[in-house]
Structures are given as structure tokens and as C-alpha cells.
Amino acid sequence: MRNNNYDWRLGFMGFLGLMGFQAFSLEQPIYLLYFSFFSFFSAFRYKFPKLKYLGLLGLLGIILYLFALTGIITV
């Protein structure tokens, strides 16, 4: 198997996609918080400097999480 630097990025994107999918399929807004937390900290180059623009999804996830908690939208 070839060793490259793209495998962890694809895995991380898959993990974020799973968290977002779980939020809506299980109707649990807490998964939106996990989704927004991990993607938000990637914007600050916390551990994943190549995914810094993914933090915009984190901001969207935080807004969706707050809307879900207040009952504006249903998850």
C-alpha cells in the first residue's frame, strides 16, 4: 500500500460526514455539536492545517446546533 498524506484527510472528512448524518438520522442535535467542534478547530489549524477552510462548516454547524436547541428547526 502506498503511503500518502491524503488518507487521513479523507478519513477525517468521512468522520465529519458521519457526525452530520447521525445528527439527522438519530434526531440528536448533540452530533451537530461534535461536527461543528471538530470542523471549527480545524479552521484554527489545531491539528489539521490542510483543512483550515473546513472551519466555515463548523460555523454553520454551530448555528444549526443552536437553532436545533432552541426549536427553530427540527433535527
Q: What pLDDT is stored for residue 71 in this prediction? A: 79
List the alpha helices (DSSP H) in 1-75: 7-25, 30-43, 55-70
Q: What pLDDT is stored for residue 64 in this prediction? A: 74
2 located within any domain: no
40 located within any domain: yes
Which cell numbers in the block locate residue 53? Answer: 477552510
Assessment of whether the complete model's pTM goes beyond 0.95? no
Confidence of residue 8 (pLDDT cuts 50, 70, 90): low
50 located within any domain: yes
Contact 32, 41 (CB under 8 A): no
Which cell numbers in the block locate residue 3? Answer: 503511503
Q: What is the pLDDT of residues 12-62, one digit of tens each?
A: 666 766 776 777 777 777 777 776 676 666 555 555 566 656 666 666 767
1 located within any domain: no
| Domain, as residue range, for 56 | 7-70
Cα 25 from chain centre: 15
pLDDT at 1 over 50: no
